[in-house]
Amino acid sequence: MEAKNLFSIFIAVIMVGSIVGFTAFYSFPDQEAGSDQGEPQAPTAIDFIAEDVNATVFQMLPSIKIQAETLETDIIAVNNSVYSIEGVKRVRGSFQQSPYTVLGTGFVYVADISFDADLNSQHVLQSIRTETPLQNIGGSSFALVQLPKTVSMHSVDEALGLTREYAFSEDISEALIGIDSIEGDSLVVGITATFIGEQAANLMAFEQHNLTAAPVPRNALLEAQVTSLESKLLFDAKPPYSLLDSVSTLESEVRALGDVNNASVFFSAGEAKIYMELEGPVEEDVFSNLKAFVEDLNAELAEQDSLNASISFKEGISSQLFSEKKAAIEVEMQRLGIHALVEEEQGFFSGTAELESADSGQAGLAIKNLFESIGLEATIRQPGNISLQEIFDSDLDKVHSVQGGEALAFLFFGHSLGETVQVEVNYSLVRGLIDSISAEESQIGD
């Protein structure tokens, strides 16, 4: 389990713990008319929450909350290791029981850490990773966020069905935000508060989404020069069930090809199933006749709607027997006057061929012919790099610089260094900068 997910669970546990802590003492006031009220009852505390509230990070605070795992069982030793990091001013850490641990310890380390104002959360978190015995570390930063003047809240306990509009005395609140969020970011936050009468206590906001840091997918079609090629080919295909037996031997056959040093494949077979897309509705008695025929073949016909149906065969049926029964069903459909497009369920096949050199032309053609010999069309690509200094984004009328001046590309086999290729580049922008990028060669005119 990723540290980020662990920390999300930890935050949820804290929230739920807080809710339980307050609601356990909740009791409805006695409504019986004329009864002796006795001593005045303490005000009722009820937890409320608001979700999907727009907010802006107003100021980062020099403090983070972390949750991590460790094999060290001495809490003093762990706290001291964090405190010894340069710039850390205060550490309040403890062990808490947790069933969600990668190390299998049954506990996690939870801490609030304050540090010098000239440091940032990412720097401190990186120092914790390298200078302490903590592992699988997740964290959030404390910050001040600007909120709307008024928010709509509802009771955490849905059975109460309570709602209220809450007006902040100030539109600035403390919040737990993502470790990568920074001042000025636009967020979507949740807000929790405990109300005792009309008074709000324990008001806290927490980040749900960072709109500013959300990746924005972009793409571009351009030409670039090949700068490097790997000595391997990647291939994949979607074989129908009828080719199951033929596909099962492909790994050894690819490995035996000239210019191939080794090969490995992954194959996930689809179900023994065929789908029928009918040209028009089928009369009930005709469909019943087909269903009886299919059942005699030890299969099951299911009508999905008036124009679609499927036939499922018993698990483990050989591809040869499957093909024979499929052909028999198609003949029976013709006899019954049922016109339909019949297709098999497809599996997934992918693999890697390690080559003797980056010269992939001969090996690529041999793999292509091998797949075609069993009636299967494969996509074959050679990974490499292309020269790419920048990308012009016509929608934004902006040029994006590519870090390092190169991008990973998946190219047709048979290229040489220095060749110009046409590629479709897919990249994502975070805060206006390219965060991830890759390219795939496309045919002229695609």
Model confidence over 89-117: pLDDT tens digits?
999 999 999 998 999 999 999 999 999 99
Query: What is the residue whose two structure tokens read 């470790």?
Result: 179
User: Using alpha carbons only, what angle is made at residue 173 by residues 167 and 175, rounded to the nearest 5 degrees?
Assistant: 130
Question: Which part of the chain is CATH 3.30.70.600?
Answer: 273-344
User: Can you tell me the distance from the alpha carbon of 367 to that of 373, in angstroms, rounded to the nearest whole number?
Assistant: 10
**Which residue, 50, 44, 40, is CA-closest to 23?**
44
Q: Provide CB contacts within 8 A for 209, sequence distance 6+.
A: 187, 188
Crossing angle, helix 284-296 and helix 319-336, to 10 degrees? 150
Tell me the percentage of the chain whose pLDDT exceeds 90: 79
What's the whole-number mean pLDDT along residues 413-433? 95
pLDDT at 38: 55
Q: In whole angstroms, how far apart are CA 298 and each of 36, 312, 319, 323, 361?
A: 77, 9, 15, 14, 47
126 with 101: CB under 8 angstroms?
A: no
Note the pLDDT tens digit of each residue in 268-319.
Answer: 888 999 999 999 989 999 999 999 999 999 999 998 788 999 999 988 899 9
pLDDT at 314: 87
pLDDT at 444: 56
**Residue 67 confidence (pLDDT) above 50:** yes
User: Can you tell me the distance from the alpha carbon of 416 to that of 361, in angstroms, rounded to the nearest whole number?
Assistant: 10
Note the pLDDT tens digit of each residue in 367-416.
Answer: 999 999 999 999 999 999 999 999 999 888 999 999 999 999 999 999 99
205 with 320: CB under 8 angstroms?
A: no
DSSP H or E segment with residue 121: helix 121-131
Does residue 421 or residue 15 have the better pLDDT?
A: 421
Residue 358 structure tokens: 């980056």
- CATH class of the domain defined by 273-344: alpha beta
How does residue 245 score in pLDDT terms, banded at 50, 70 and 90? confident
3-state secondary structure of 429: strand
pLDDT at 42: 63
Residue 39 structure tokens: 């001593």
Q: Provide CB contacts within 8 A for 445, sequence distance 6+.
A: none
**Residue 87 confidence (pLDDT) above 60:** yes
User: Can you tell me the distance from the alpha carbon of 429 to that of 215, in angstroms, rounded to the nearest whole number?
Assistant: 5
How does residue 12 score in pLDDT terms, banded at 50, 70 and 90? very low
**Which residue, 441, 426, 437, is CA-closest to 380?**
441
Q: What is the DSSP letter of 346?
A: B
Note the pTM of the prediction, 2 decimals. 0.70
User: How high does pLDDT run on average in the chain?
Assistant: 89
User: Can you tell me the distance from the alpha carbon of 26 to that of 194, in angstroms, rounded to the nearest whole number?
Assistant: 12
User: Can you tell me the distance from the alpha carbon of 323 to that of 346, in angstroms, rounded to the nearest whole number?
Assistant: 14
pLDDT at 373: 95
What's the whole-number mean pLDDT along residues 119-130? 94
